[in-house]
Structure 1
Amino acid sequence: MIDTFASIVKEEIAENIKSCHYFTVQADEAKDVSKTEQLALVVRFYNEISHCIQECFISFTPMSSLDAAYITGIILKTLEKLGLDYKSSLVGLGFDGASVMSGGISGVQKRIKEKAPFASYLHCYGHKLNLVLTIVAKNVPQSSEFCSLLEEVYLVSNAVVREKFLSIQREMSPEEQIRELQHLSDTRWWCRTTSCENALLHLECIIRLLKETSADDTGARAVSARGLLAQMDAEFVCLLKFFSEILGNINKVSQQLQDKQADLGKATKLISCLREDLADLCPAGQTFLHKDDLKSFALSYSVKQSDLKHELPSVKKLLQKELQPPTSLVEFLSFNHPYKSAFDCLYRLLLIAVTLPVTSASCERSFSKMEIVKTFLGNSVTSERLSNTALLSIESKWAETIFVANGDTYLEIMGQYL
């Protein structure tokens, strides 16, 4: 029954993708509880009827090899099973920066581009932001030292004295939520934000914990506690407040980049906002719809430069007559929809632009569902059952729409496929 329902949902998703001009693919891999490498595949497309971007989970596929040729074969075979024309309609690939995926000579993106010439590779913006922040944090002495000190505080508070730390919080801050410090991971930047916020909120509790630990304990833990106390001076408090504010702003951008509705225009604005440089990114900017800026993008997708050159001035005039001009790519695409036959080249470029993936967050979110479906007690579940169960759970809205449509019951729909 699960497999049948999943097939119905997958067919419906495939039909919606086929009705669109373009689509993009996101892929990422992770190990399940049985240590089997699973490749998650997500398809992103723009629905011209509802005027919104959709990212749909397609499948988990077990991998017996991690080389580029094998992964490329899995992705292309999955698209073929869905009946999707990837040779002309696949316009983007969203992967992380692993060399096997991003390699420009023999990586997955290069091999797929040989089959689908319009499939441009985009490195996940979330990963790029995380990489930049990690490198900067390690190369600025004050930042590196502060993060190391915060990690040492975490190690002390998360050891045997953890329960003592929690009891001190209950005693000193009974009305506040009990919080723990986070391990500072290089791949999950949000944990630094959470750690700074929790440390700032319960700074007095941390100082008291270190004092009691240095007085009551003996050996290495007491020595570590005394060393940390000596370094938690006014400068540390200032840095803690500074990083809490800065990292909070960065974390908001990171969370918004993971939104399914995020497009390249929104991602560019969010990143530029951190650098305080938004002037030329909105429709009021001087470089908006500038033919030179669109030239390379148009060439990548074989759009005629001569036609595009004539369309841009007319679109600008239409925008000037609007009381509320569009502020995002999706809004601008919706604005151009009634004129798509007149401005065919620009409309095509806008469709591609909103379809291109910003992050591979949807793939990573699917791994959370994989951990729920395939547990230690249920690790004998087959790969097909894992994929189908995850599909029904992740794409539950599609299932609800299909099975409630036209008053059909589950049994009536099942009868059409059994």
Structure 2
Amino acid sequence: MSGQVSGVQQRIKETHPYAVYIHCLAHKLNLVLVDCCTVNRSVKTLLNVIGKLYSVFAEPTNHHRFIEVQKSLDMKPTEIAQPSETRWACKWRSLHAVKTHYSAITQCLREMSDEGGKWSVEATGLCEHMGRLSFITCLIVLEDILRVIHVTHKALQSSSLALSEAAVLTDNLKAHFVSQRQTDKWNDVWGSVKQFCRDNNVSVPEDANIQSQTPAGPGPLPKRKRATQPPTSLDNFLITTTLGHREENDVNTVQMSQSETPGFQQHLYFPVLDTIIGELDRRFTGEAVELAQACAAVLRCDKSGIEPLVQKYAQPLKINPHLVGTEMDLVKASTQ
């Protein structure tokens, strides 16, 4: 479809030069989510654990046990959805199921581990992972982020959605995540983590410092990391974002055990949000997005935002660009 040489979009442009190719915005958002979920090692570990949980509870005997435990705890029976490698926006359902049925899942895993049966090894490992503070923090952070993306993704798939409305949705999504990158927002998230731990009898170390970047306690000091320099090809450019660096060794403190001081804000929360904001900027740009935003400006009678639309279509539609603003002012006045 999108080939620049002989793709469908190029063949259409040969006879309709003013046509604009617009890639599926829902698919673009899905790609943003893929990058978000692979930027951090703890996020990848969380998703791997949830994938293993699906495999364990998809087995008929274990599935029956899971349903019975939920009923005994007065929970509405639910299932962990099968993970998809293409529809990442659907992963919110699995995260939500794990978060809301955490106690039932861990109880099942403990029972299976104590029995020493076929699934005891998998159950023991999964139960150990789910009891870690890093797992719970990642679960709370990612479930909240994916819930917002899930709502936007569903809206972008609507058959009745206009291009101008899609532009507003993506702009609002970016503005939401920019607003979440505030210290007070993180404090709310950390409060939710501690409350979740209290509700599920998971201990949180008293000396947990959410701003710390290095482990606490006895032992040798971490090795000093070699300073990373940008490539010389970028000497004449202003660098405003990270260069794709991944967390390593002592920097990735969210992998530490509960007895160590976590740095979840610096090495989990901010990297995930920054990746989402950066990818939204990168993927939701270009001629198609500019025209979508201009369409939204027309509907708002905002003449300051219609320039991309006027530049492209004023000539073929025989529109006087100097009169469009005046016409919009008159329409806006008549509707007030």
TM over 0.5: yes
Residues in 2 aligned to 1:202 and 1:303: alpha-carbon distance in whole angstroms:
58
Deviation track 1:223-265 (CA, whole Å, cap 9, x = no partner) reads 1211111111233223222222221111111111122221111
Residues in 2 aligned to 1:213 and 1:129: alpha-carbon distance in whole angstroms:
39
- The residue that corresponds to 2:96 in the other structure is 197
Q: Is the 8 A contact 2:129 2:135 kept in 1?
A: yes
Offset, 1:182: 1.2
Residues in 1 aligned to 2:156 and 2:123: alpha-carbon distance in whole angstroms:
39
Amino acid at match of 1:229: C
- The residue that corresponds to 2:124 in the other structure is 226
Establish whether residue 185 from structure 1 lines up as the match of residue 84 from structure 2: yes
Residues in 1 aligned to 2:148 and 2:306: alpha-carbon distance in whole angstroms:
34
Deviation track 1:80-114 (CA, whole Å, cap 9, x = no partner) reads xxxxxxxxxxxxxxxxxxxxx21111112222332
C-alpha spacing 1:282/1:141, structure 2 compared with 1 (3 Å): farther
1 or 2, which has the higher strand percentage? 1
- The residue that corresponds to 1:309 in the other structure is 322
C-alpha spacing 1:191/1:311, structure 2 compared with 1 (3 Å): closer
Amino acid at match of 1:227: G
Structure 1 segments of 4+ aligned residues over 4 angstroms from their partners: 280-289
Within 5 Å, give how 1:23-62 maps onto structure 2: none
- The residue that corresponds to 2:54 in the other structure is 154
Q: Is the 8 A contact 2:4 2:10 kept in 1?
A: yes
Q: Is the 8 A contact 2:69 2:104 kept in 1?
A: yes
Structure possessing the higher relative contact order (Cα contacts under 8 Å, 6 or more residues apart): 1
| Match for residue 294 of structure 1 among 300, 303, 309 | 309
- SS in structure 1 of the partner of residue 22 of structure 2: strand
C-alpha spacing 1:302/1:284, structure 2 compared with 1 (3 Å): closer
C-alpha spacing 1:275/1:236, structure 2 compared with 1 (3 Å): same
Deviation track 1:245-287 (CA, whole Å, cap 9, x = no partner) reads 2211111111111222211111111111111189x96679896
C-alpha spacing 1:294/1:282, structure 2 compared with 1 (3 Å): closer
C-alpha spacing 1:217/1:304, structure 2 compared with 1 (3 Å): farther
Amino acid at match of 2:138: L
C-alpha spacing 1:204/1:308, structure 2 compared with 1 (3 Å): same
Amino acid at match of 1:292: E
Deviation track 1:45-65 (CA, whole Å, cap 9, x = no partner) reads xxxxxxxxxxxxxxxxxxxxx
| Match for residue 73 of structure 2 among 172, 175, 192 | 172
Residues in 2 aligned to 1:236 and 1:216: alpha-carbon distance in whole angstroms:
25
Establish whether residue 246 from structure 1 lines up as the match of residue 145 from structure 2: yes
Q: Percent of pairs identical after alignment?
A: 26
Within 5 Å, give how 1:2-401 maps onto structure 2: 101-160=1-60, 161-173=62-74, 176-219=75-118, 221-232=119-130, 233-276=132-175, 288-290=303-305, 292-298=307-313, 302-304=316-318, 307-323=320-336
Residues in 2 aligned to 1:238 and 1:141: alpha-carbon distance in whole angstroms:
13
Deviation track 1:372-413 (CA, whole Å, cap 9, x = no partner) reads xxxxxxxxxxxxxxxxxxxxxxxxxxxxxxxxxxxxxxxxxx
- SS in structure 2 of the partner of residue 182 of structure 1: coil
**Over aligned residues, Cα RMSD in angstroms?**
2.8
TM-score normalised per structure 2: 0.58
Of residues 247-256 and 108-117 in structure 1, the stretch that sits farther from structure 2 once superposed is: 108-117
Q: Is the 8 A contact 1:190 1:251 kept in 2?
A: yes
C-alpha spacing 1:168/1:107, structure 2 compared with 1 (3 Å): same
TM-score normalised per structure 1: 0.47
Residues in 1 aligned to 2:8 and 2:321: alpha-carbon distance in whole angstroms:
32
C-alpha spacing 1:202/1:291, structure 2 compared with 1 (3 Å): closer
C-alpha spacing 1:200/1:298, structure 2 compared with 1 (3 Å): same
Residues in 1 aligned to 2:107 and 2:303: alpha-carbon distance in whole angstroms:
56
C-alpha spacing 1:264/1:289, structure 2 compared with 1 (3 Å): farther
Q: Is the 8 A contact 2:297 2:305 kept in 1?
A: no
Residues in 2 aligned to 1:182 and 1:315: alpha-carbon distance in whole angstroms:
49
Q: Is the 8 A contact 1:183 1:191 kept in 2?
A: no
- The residue that corresponds to 2:224 in the other structure is none
Q: Is the 8 A contact 2:303 2:325 kept in 1?
A: no
Residues in 1 aligned to 2:57 and 2:33: alpha-carbon distance in whole angstroms:
26
Unaligned runs of 5+ in 2: 179-292
C-alpha spacing 1:296/1:283, structure 2 compared with 1 (3 Å): closer
- SS in structure 2 of the partner of residue 276 of structure 1: helix
Report how many aligned residue pairs link the two structures.
217
